[in-house]
Structure 1
Amino acid sequence: MSDLKEPLHYASSKPVDAQTTKPSAGLHDRSIGAIIAETRNLSADQVERVLQYQRERGIRFGEAAVALGYANAEDVLEALSKQFHYPYAASERKSRSPELVALNQPFSSQAEVFRGIRSQIMMRLYREGEPRRALAIISPDTMDGKSYFTANLAVTLAQLGGRTLLVDADLRRPRQHEIFDVANQAGLSSILSGRSEPRVIQQVEGMNSLFVLPVGAVPPNPVELLERPAFGMLMRELAGKFDHVVVDTSASLYGADASIVASRCGAALVLARQDRSRVLALQELTDSLDGINTTLLGTVMNQY
Structure 2
Amino acid sequence: MKVRNNLETPQITHLEDDTDQSIGHILVRSGRLSPEAAEEIHRRQKDNGLLFGETGIAMGLLSREDVEFAIATQFDYSVLKRGSSKISEDLATAYDPFGSAAEAFRELRTELLLGWYEADENAKILSVISARRGEGRSYVAANLAVSFSQLGLKTLLVDTDFRNARLHAYFGVPNRRGLSSLLQNKSTFNFFLPVNGIRNLFILPSGPLPPNPQELLSQGAFADLLAEFTNYFDILILDTPAALIYSDAATVAKRSHASIVVARQDHTKAEELTHLSDNMHRHGGKVLGSVLLDF
Q: CA deviation at 1:207?
A: 0.8
Count of residues paired in the alignment = 279
2:211 is aligned with 1:223: no
What letter is aligned with 1:52? R
Which residue is equivalent to 1:294?
Answer: 285
What letter is aligned with 1:32? I
Q: CA deviation at 1:77?
A: 1.5
Match of 2:170 among 179, 194, 213: 179
Q: TM-score, normalised by structure 2?
A: 0.87
2:191 is aligned with 1:200: yes
Which residue is equivalent to 1:190?
Answer: 181
> What per-residue deviation string (whole Å, max 9, x for no partner) do you get for residues 256-288 of structure 1?
111100011121111112122222322221122
SS in 1 for 2:102: helix
Larger RCO, structure (CA 8 Å, separation 6 or more): 1
Equivalent-residue separation in structure 2 for 1:160 and 1:202 (angstroms): 19
Percent identity, aligned pairs only?
38
Which residue is equivalent to 2:42?
Answer: 51
Q: Judging by fraction of residues, say which structure has more helix.
A: 1
2:138 is aligned with 1:147: yes
Equivalent-residue separation in structure 1 for 2:96 and 2:56 (angstroms): 22
Equivalent-residue separation in structure 2 for 1:232 and 1:293 (angstroms): 14
SS in 2 for 1:138: strand
Q: CA deviation at 1:65?
A: 2.6
Q: Does the 8 Å CA contact 2:18/2:29 hold for their aligned counterparts?
A: no
Which residue is equivalent to 2:228?
Answer: 237
> What per-residue deviation string (whole Å, max 9, x for no partner) do you get for residues 7-31 of structure 1?
xxxxxxxxxxxxxxxxxxx988521
Equivalent-residue separation in structure 2 for 1:141 and 1:225 (angstroms): 21
Which structure 1 residue ranges, 5 or more long, are not aligned? 1-25
> What per-residue deviation string (whole Å, max 9, x for no partner) do you get for residues 134-154 of structure 1?
000111111111111111111
Equivalences for 1:63-78 in 2 at 5 Å?
Answer: 63-78=54-69
Q: Does the 8 Å CA contact 2:258/2:288 hold for their aligned counterparts?
A: yes
Report the aligned-residue RMSD.
Answer: 2.1
Equivalent-residue separation in structure 2 for 1:96 and 1:133 (angstroms): 25
Q: CA deviation at 1:93?
A: 3.7
Distance 1:67 1:144, change over 3 A: same
What letter is aligned with 2:148? L
What letter is aligned with 2:94? L
2:225 is aligned with 1:213: no
Equivalent-residue separation in structure 2 for 1:44 and 1:255 (angstroms): 56
Which residue is equivalent to 1:4?
Answer: none
Equivalent-residue separation in structure 1 for 2:95 and 2:259 (angstroms): 26
Equivalent-residue separation in structure 1 for 2:18 and 2:228 (angstroms): 33
SS in 1 for 2:142: helix
Equivalent-residue separation in structure 1 for 2:104 and 2:274 (angstroms): 25
Which residue is equivalent to 1:252?
Answer: 243
What letter is aligned with 1:74? E
Distance 1:129 1:123, change over 3 A: closer
